[in-house]
Structure 1
Amino acid sequence: MARRRSSLAEDVMDRVARLPWWLGVLLAIVSHLLLRPLAQRPLPPYTPGTSIAMPAMVQGLAAAGQIALPLLCLAGAGVSAWRRRQRRGLARDAAQRPAMDAVNGMSWREFELLVGEAFRQQGYRVAETGGGGPDGGVDLLLAKPGANGSEKYLVQCKHWRAWKVGVGVVRELYGVMAATGAAGGYVVTAGRFTDEAVRFAEGRNVVLVEGAELVRMIRGARSGGSG
């Protein structure tokens, strides 16, 4: 299905929502402080042969932007804070419930949030690509400081429980890794992988994570943090 084209306001709010909530609040303050002087700047006096259309247009955009842009940033910060709370709630439930019960009742979106939180607890910086959906491509971008700077990893989430994830999915991710220069990749599923997929991943720096192992990752990180 083709994705609905978003407006500029929706795009701004969505991008801010992918940032930490406090950064969205900071952007709201900074954008207001930058645009307010432009909105209040007096127009140059009119002289014959000159046009004030451009300065007037800039002032009008700044006047509207000093209100609209901070509101969009604050809305995005609110969404970010809500997602953060949702991620932590999902991780808490996953750590407390039986392994497969924790993921079997989730939607694909909740599963993706849980996977992102699991990698955050492993020390990664996680960015959502926004290209998700039940059968999207790369869903998460991971970054972790390494010996040669920040290394990038790709994550593909497959919320499939009724059948096994085949080798085609792993090949697809490996191709994107090669094209983008990623240091490694993960395919995470609520179900299982075929034997062919497991054989293909061996020696290619692609890690296959099944649902029960995902829950063990979260439990291990939480117990380590508590300790």
Structure 2
Amino acid sequence: MGSHRKSSLIEDLYGIASFLPWWLSICMAIGFYFYLDSLAVMPVIDPQKPMAHVTGWLVYYVAYWGRYLLPLIFVFGAVTSLKAKAKRVSLLNNVRYDSAPQQDALAAISWREFEMLVGQFFREKGYKVSETTEGADGGVDLHLTDNDFKTYLVQCKHWKASKVPVNVVRELYGVMVAESASGAFVVTSGQFTDDAQAFANGKNIQLIDGLLLVSAIKGRDTQQNKPVISTVASAIQCPVCNSDMVLRTAKKGPNAGNQFFGCSRYPSCRGTKAA
């Protein structure tokens, strides 16, 4: 396997600027310009201090050219950030207003576009979303932060044929525990195996298949016969579909006997929250 090419300082700065909100990159570009411009002053020659003279000229030349180069990098980064935001919104709206079946709506996009779609889906639910720089199937794809500063991990699987197996869910659960995250989501364009669903049951890890994802984006209820529930925690909303949650007790697994909040739309939605 070939080694990754080492990126330059300009590429690193551009990457940072493109990941920031576009308006923040613009503000930083303006701030860098005025700060460096204030340093771009011809040094006063003092024969008694030759080293200070060299340092002064070095600062002058770096500030003189940097006041143009650094803001330009952040302006280009802001443009990239703004275009990425427009792309995410466009992907979500294409699914929301598309009359095509779920399989066609998600199969037409690439794995990278699927990650952008999922990220925008969680942004609309109030999460702060941070995208990783890993490639396809590189592990955790998104980091979420809610209003209570709790962190959640998201792994996206744009699989058109095979179902997501239990080992994928198990591995993400291990990463969630290792990073002390509050929860995790596995989002796929397809489906999950029965073993994967059984493993996630009762744990603070949510499985969102393609049908549920498209239904949640469109605002539809995928459950045909919704059961009558006597005890609903109406003040608590599902992190996946925003429906009311129900206080339940885990019947099996390592959390057997413990209470948790489950989505009232179960089994169409398997969202949970710790009680």
Q: Same fold (TM over 0.5)?
A: yes
Aligned to 1:5: 6
Larger helix proportion of the pair: 1
Alignment partner of 2:207: what SS? strand
Alignment partner of 1:61: what SS? helix
Which amino acid in 1 is paired with 2:79? G
CA offset at residue 54 of structure 1? 2.2
Per-residue deviation, residues 63-111 of structure 1 (Å, max 9, x unmatched): 2211111111111110111111111111111012232221101111110
User: Please, which runs of 5 or more residues in structure 1 have no aligned partner?
Assistant: none
Distance in 2 between residues matched to 1:73 and 1:88, nearest whole Å: 22
Aligned to 1:162: 161
Q: Tell me, yes or no, if the aligned pair for 1:108 and 1:159 is still in contact at 8 Å.
A: yes
CA gap of 1:8–1:49, structure 2 versus 1, over 3 A, is closer
Highest RCO, 1 vs 2 (Cα 8 Å, sep ≥ 6): 1
Alignment partner of 2:50: what SS? coil
Compare CA radii of gyration and give the structure with the larger one. 2
Q: Tell me, yes or no, if the aligned pair for 1:155 and 1:187 is still in contact at 8 Å.
A: yes
Q: Tell me, yes or no, if the aligned pair for 1:187 and 1:208 is still in contact at 8 Å.
A: yes
Distance in 1 between residues matched to 2:82 and 2:88, nearest whole Å: 10
Q: Tell me, yes or no, if the aligned pair for 1:121 and 1:218 is still in contact at 8 Å.
A: no
| 1:82 corresponds to 2:83 | yes
Distance in 1 between residues matched to 2:5 and 2:162, nearest whole Å: 29
Identity rate, percent: 44
CA offset at residue 181 of structure 1? 1.5
Which amino acid in 2 is paired with 1:169? V
Q: Which of 113, 116, 119 is the equivalent residue of 1:113?
A: 116
Aligned to 1:26: 27
Alignment partner of 1:127: what SS? strand
Alignment partner of 1:162: what SS? coil
Higher deviation after alignment, 172-181 or 46-55: 46-55
**TM-score, normalized by length of structure 2?**
0.74
CA RMSD of aligned residues (A): 1.8
Alignment partner of 1:145: what SS? coil
Aligned to 1:138: 140
**TM-score, normalized by length of structure 1?**
0.89
Q: Tell me, yes or no, if the aligned pair for 2:129 and 2:144 is still in contact at 8 Å.
A: yes
